[in-house]
Amino acid sequence: MKALPHFYSVRAAAGTEGNLRVTTEGLSDLAIAAPADYDGPGDHWSPEQLLMASVSSCLILSFRALAKLSNLQWQAIECNSSGELDKVDRRVRFTRIQTRARLTIAAGESRDRAESLLNKAKDICFISNSLTAASQFSTLVIVAGE
């Protein structure tokens, strides 16, 4: 890993109508639109969905790094994040984010150890750590073959 601080830049651009385009060097462009809840078309990623994707993705990547360092034998992880957007003090913001992780570990691995690593991953996820919304986290660890 490169020494901190790290810097990330994206460019978002749009006209008066239609999708906006998000770009960054070396990656494919993303077409972004308002969600259906805000009268958007509902057929493109929205900023709200991208934020939830960032929470889930960061947790998985954090877990993957910890599992590797800990030599945990695992097979698959799925992470679902749901956010509640509400008005607080005349501002709309995410008030709660619920994240559920489902991990399948190899036979013979410890459920407690795997759950501990999932919780550590949650604690070091810098995306979640950067948000002010209340956070709820739950885990399900499955041992392969059981």
Query: What is the pLDDT at residue 99?
Result: 98
Question: Which residue range(s) make up the domain with 96?
Answer: 47-143
Question: What count of other Cβ atoms lies within 10 Å of the Cβ of residue 64?
Answer: 14
Do 30 and 83 belong to one domain?
A: no
Q: What is the pLDDT of residues 47-93, one digit of tens each?
A: 999 999 999 999 999 999 999 999 999 999 999 999 999 999 999 99
Do 60 and 102 belong to one domain?
A: yes
Q: How far apart are CA 24 and CA 80, in angstroms?
A: 26
Say if residues 44 and 31 touch (Cβ distance below 8 Å).
Answer: yes
Domain harbouring 108, CATH code: 3.30.300.20
Please give the tally of structural domains in the chain.
Answer: 2
- Please report which helix (H) or strand (E) contains residue 113, including its range: helix 111-124
Do 11 and 72 belong to one domain?
A: no
Do 1 and 67 belong to one domain?
A: no
Q: What is the pLDDT of residues 9-27, one digit of tens each?
A: 999 999 999 999 999 999 9
Do 121 and 62 belong to one domain?
A: yes
Query: What is the pLDDT at residue 32?
Result: 97
String of b and e for 14-36 (b: at least 16 CB within 10 Å)?
eeeeebeebeeeeeeebebbbbe
Distance of CA 21 to the CA centre of its chain: 21
Token digits for 133?
């919304």
Do 68 and 12 belong to one domain?
A: no
Looking up tokens 């929470």, which residue turns up? 55
Q: Which amino acid is at 95?
A: T
Give the percent of the chain with pLDDT over 90.
Answer: 98
pTM above 0.85, yes or no: yes
1 falls in which pLDDT band (50, 70, 90)? confident
Query: What is the pLDDT at residue 88?
Result: 95
Q: How far apart are CA 81 and CA 98, in angstroms?
A: 6
Do 65 and 84 belong to one domain?
A: yes
Sequential DSSP letters for 81-105: EEEEEEEETTEEEEEEEEEEEEEEE
Q: Is the pLDDT of residue 146 over 90?
A: no
Q: Which amino acid is at 112?
A: D
Say if residues 86 and 93 touch (Cβ distance below 8 Å).
Answer: yes
